[in-house]
Chains A and B, each alone.
Chain A
């Protein structure tokens, strides 16, 4: 029972941290980044490169964050910027970008499954039971990311400007806010978060060029259900991720794999605004 509760909570937090980058980009840019899965994969390979180079595995996620941020700025400039007025085309172009990234990784690292060293192995005692140490660490990081994003949005000037752009872009521009720069920074941040999330989940799984794909679809659904709000995304991750764990444990793991997609589609049909808490 404790294990099940821990599974639900950690799954929800992992889903949250994986989807956060997608939500940041959707929130400010009104753009669905279908390269999100590929960014996760890049994060996974960054972790592998860092550990293979003999550096501490704890550096993997920060390195992925930095790399993703830089790459995100470049990608925004070249691919995303011309597509702000064409949201459906932006989905396709970022999907194409995902293919390009995946193939570049395949060319560089091969298509076989590989492993990255984990900063922590084994289990931690938790009350009367033992639980995977790294899952607990990732969950803690997810909570920190949620808190950090909230602080960034609500306590900093960049956050205020970003919220102003989200709410009313023309008015924000009329007040001297460079919305283009806010968008570029946001895309960099979203890409960086995605890469960092990829590095974080890598020790739980393995690394292969398509590792991000299943996460992309689930993240996409979670973000659409939650709307742009950090607490809503937490809630959506908990509800849908929890349902996934329950279905996988008690019905069938295969049905568990489509739980999030089906529930999200149904929720959105009933209430197009999803769970949005505002």
Chain B
């Protein structure tokens, strides 16, 4: 592995303070643990057939295939926050691809590869379709769950409707297959599970894996940073579908029997139970949970048929209510206490200035042009006929009393789906109905009023995430060096964040969170910067520092900056022009002096303006 750059060493003490123990870099430790884990797993797979009786081996083969399926559930639910009831359907697709091809078309190595490809691609296609249905901008997480719930139900009905072809409710059996020994099948299933788990292990510890966590914690914020959230989820769904279909194919080829239950809703919920009990978002927990529960179940359902399911049900409810993270974290922290090691510290990150962008901003004089913008909620007009232009290299402040529509204006400028009338041009392009990531791609960067960042991500991970639009995200590795535009670096050093790259953001002070928020927006290298109360709750010194950065951004870097502010002194100090909103209308636009001198504005702020409603 590459030795971290010298700058990164400076970041280490902070990371050590955070974890309170010796820091290990997770990049290396992820590869090391994946290798060690794979070796142990493969050793167990190799030893299994010699140590276990045939009955147990048989049961374990099924459990190993199901555990590979569960890995997909855990990545979707545990990491990306998508509660999926339908993962069993992909298992079913893989299994039926095997059974249908071998029963009706032919059997042999070519047919087997073809059937596997059919199952995997078919499942990926179905998954992508499901993803396209379930994940669109503004979709509720519940809707995604509904679609994944509908999927296995539809699949099972389709199998029923297939009559002789699919074997209807009794399924297909006794089709030709490879009658290898149980030991061989055990090895195949075991190697498949180890490979899937190791790949997933590296994946969730990569930059892309952190991106998934960021989506789970704050999907909205990710979209505004230019991350194509829906696309990422669809791709994830397709990949997990493909892996699940592979497992289903293997299981069908091994057992020589397929039944509709393999793709059914009940198996889908069982997968969730195993994941929850093992510990969502830990990968190893759900895998071990699946193996443990499925094997124990096979033994106990004979002796205590209903009692076993009852106990699992009770354990499931108790874990969801009392221990939402499942059993694995408890075991892991116990083990760590025993071994005296802290959790792996986040990767040290070396920061460097990004090269200036080739394209210049001088081409468009007014990067932001707003024409007759309106936003209604039913009969309520929150914004009505607002028009203005914002110039490159200038700070335009938006002021107005509570409820004037300031934040709504920001929303309409950064999300094409928000406004109910009018047009917004960014760099000369009409934003249309574009989702936030589309508008972000046009060059709009937006900071938010509240500082809910990504709680479990570190400062460095947040910054890496913010560079997604420029640098993408590595899928099986961590980046050790990050290039950021100079203004972002300035803010990080001014707020002391550059010494705390390894710290999780929930431990940051309010001022640092504001600084990070601004640095993240700047890291996307926007042309138009929308800032919603960037100094709320800051001390005088912090305000002055941020004000200085903003002025410098406009003057030296030519950024077009829009600012919502309550603190009128601050507005007066840094603004070039001011827009006054009142009850959703643009009351006046002018220079700072003009606005301050205006009697109308004074009247509005004193709250003495006559009510206009009938």
The 8 Å CB contact of B83, one of A88, A97, A106, A272, is A88
The 8 Å CB contact of B317, one of A100, A107, A220, A224, is A100
The 8 Å CB contact of A272, one of B139, B153, B316, B317, is B139
Which residues of chain B have C-beta atoms less than 8 A from A254's C-beta?
Answer: 157, 160-161
CB nearest neighbor in A for B314: A100
CB nearest neighbor in A for B161: A254
Per the 8 Å Cβ criterion, residues 72-107 of A in contact with B are: 79, 82-83, 86-89, 91-93, 95-97, 99-100, 102-104, 106-107
Report if A255-B157 is in contact (Cβ < 8 Å); known contacts: A104-B310, A107-B306, A272-B140: yes
Report if A93-B157 is in contact (Cβ < 8 Å); known contacts: A217-B149, A217-B265: no
CB nearest neighbor in B for A214: B153
Tell me which of A6-14, A238-246, A261-269 binds B.
A261-269
In the complex, are the beta carbons of A96 and B313 less than 8 A apart?
yes
**A74, B392: Cα distance in complex, Å:** 63
**A100, B314: Cα distance in complex, Å:** 6
Q: Is B333 an interface residue (CB 8 A)?
A: no
The 8 Å CB contact of B146, one of A102, A103, A106, A221, is A221
CB nearest neighbor in A for B317: A96
In the complex, are the beta carbons of B307 and A107 less than 8 A apart?
yes
Among B306, B312, B321, residue most surrounded by chain A Cβ atoms (within 10 Å): B321
Which residues of chain B have C-beta atoms less than 8 A from A269's C-beta?
Answer: 133, 143
Tell me which of B269-277, B418-426, B461-469, B532-540 binds A.
B269-277
**A99, B310: Cα distance in complex, Å:** 7
The 8 Å CB contact of B324, one of A32, A86, A111, A264, is A86
Q: Is A119 an interface residue (CB 8 A)?
A: no
In the complex, are the beta carbons of B146 and A91 less than 8 A apart?
no
Chain B 129-157, CB within 8 Å of chain A: the 1/0 string?
A: 00001000011111101110110011001
Q: Is B320 an interface residue (CB 8 A)?
A: yes
The 8 Å CB contact of A99, one of B133, B161, B309, is B309
In the complex, are the beta carbons of A96 and B142 less than 8 A apart?
no
The 8 Å CB contact of B320, one of A92, A111, A252, is A92
In the complex, are the beta carbons of A107 and B310 less than 8 A apart?
yes
Chain B 271-306, CB within 8 Å of chain A: the 1/0 string?
A: 011001000000000000000000000000000001
The 8 Å CB contact of A261, one of B142, B153, B269, B320, is B153
Which residues of chain A have C-beta atoms less than 8 A from B272's C-beta?
Answer: 92
**A95, B139: Cα distance in complex, Å:** 23
Chain A 19-60, CB within 8 Å of chain B: the 1/0 string?
A: 000000000000010000000000000000000000000000
The 8 Å CB contact of B312, one of A92, A99, A262, is A99
Chain A 198-229, CB within 8 Å of chain B: the 1/0 string?
A: 00000000000000000001001100100000
In the complex, are the beta carbons of B269 and A88 less than 8 A apart?
no
The 8 Å CB contact of B161, one of A92, A221, A252, A261, is A252
Report if A96-B273 is in contact (Cβ < 8 Å); known contacts: A255-B157, A272-B139: yes
**A141, B142: Cα distance in complex, Å:** 32
In the complex, are the beta carbons of A88 and B154 less than 8 A apart?
no
Chain B 157-187, CB within 8 Å of chain A: the 1/0 string?
A: 1001100000000000000000000000000
Which residues of chain A have C-beta atoms less than 8 A from B269's C-beta?
Answer: 95
Which residues of chain B have C-beta atoms less than 8 A from A107's C-beta?
Answer: 306-307, 310
Q: Is A149 an interface residue (CB 8 A)?
A: no
Closest CB in chain B relative to A86 CB, distance in Å: 7
Q: Is A164 an interface residue (CB 8 A)?
A: no
The 8 Å CB contact of A87, one of B142, B146, B310, B320, is B142
**A107, B310: Cα distance in complex, Å:** 9
CB nearest neighbor in B for A106: B306
**A218, B306: Cα distance in complex, Å:** 26
Closest CB in chain B relative to A254 CB, distance in Å: 5
Per the 8 Å Cβ criterion, residues 318-342 of B in contact with A are: 320-322, 324
CB nearest neighbor in A for B163: A254
CB nearest neighbor in B for A262: B154
**A255, B156: Cα distance in complex, Å:** 11
The 8 Å CB contact of A262, one of B140, B145, B150, is B150
Which residues of chain B have C-beta atoms less than 8 A from A252's C-beta?
Answer: 161
Per the 8 Å Cβ criterion, residues 242-278 of B in contact with A are: 265, 269, 272-273, 276
In the complex, are the beta carbons of B317 and A79 less than 8 A apart?
yes
**A254, B155: Cα distance in complex, Å:** 12
Among B141, B157, B265, residue most surrounded by chain A Cβ atoms (within 10 Å): B157
**A95, B269: Cα distance in complex, Å:** 9
Closest CB in chain B relative to A39 CB, distance in Å: 15
Closest CB in chain A relative to B153 CB, distance in Å: 5
CB nearest neighbor in B for A99: B313
Q: Is A257 an interface residue (CB 8 A)?
A: yes
The 8 Å CB contact of A217, one of B139, B153, B312, is B153
Which residues of chain B have C-beta atoms less than 8 A from A224's C-beta?
Answer: 142, 146
Q: Is A63 an interface residue (CB 8 A)?
A: no
CB nearest neighbor in A for B136: A269
**A103, B317: Cα distance in complex, Å:** 14
In the complex, are the beta carbons of A261 and B150 less than 8 A apart?
yes
Q: Is A258 an interface residue (CB 8 A)?
A: yes
Closest CB in chain A relative to B149 CB, distance in Å: 7
**A147, B205: Cα distance in complex, Å:** 56
**A92, B317: Cα distance in complex, Å:** 8
29 sample A-B contacts, Cβ–Cβ < 8 Å, listed by A number: A79-B317, A87-B142, A88-B141, A88-B142, A88-B145, A89-B324, A91-B83, A92-B83, A92-B272, A92-B276, A96-B273, A96-B313, A96-B314, A97-B317, A99-B312, A102-B309, A103-B307, A103-B309, A103-B310, A107-B307, A111-B306, A221-B146, A252-B161, A257-B157, A258-B154, A262-B150, A264-B150, A265-B150, A268-B143
The 4 closest A-B pairs by CB, nearest first: A99-B313, A103-B310, A96-B316, A96-B317
**17 extra A-B contacts, CB within 8 A, seeds A91-B145, A97-B313:** A87-B142, A88-B141, A89-B320, A96-B316, A96-B317, A99-B312, A100-B313, A100-B314, A103-B309, A106-B306, A221-B146, A254-B160, A255-B157, A261-B154, A262-B154, A264-B146, A272-B138
A residues sitting closer than 8 Å to B (CB atoms) are 32, 79, 82-83, 86-89, 91-93, 95-97, 99-100, 102-104, 106-107, 111, 217, 220-221, 224, 252, 254-255, 257-258, 261-262, 264-265, 268-269, 272
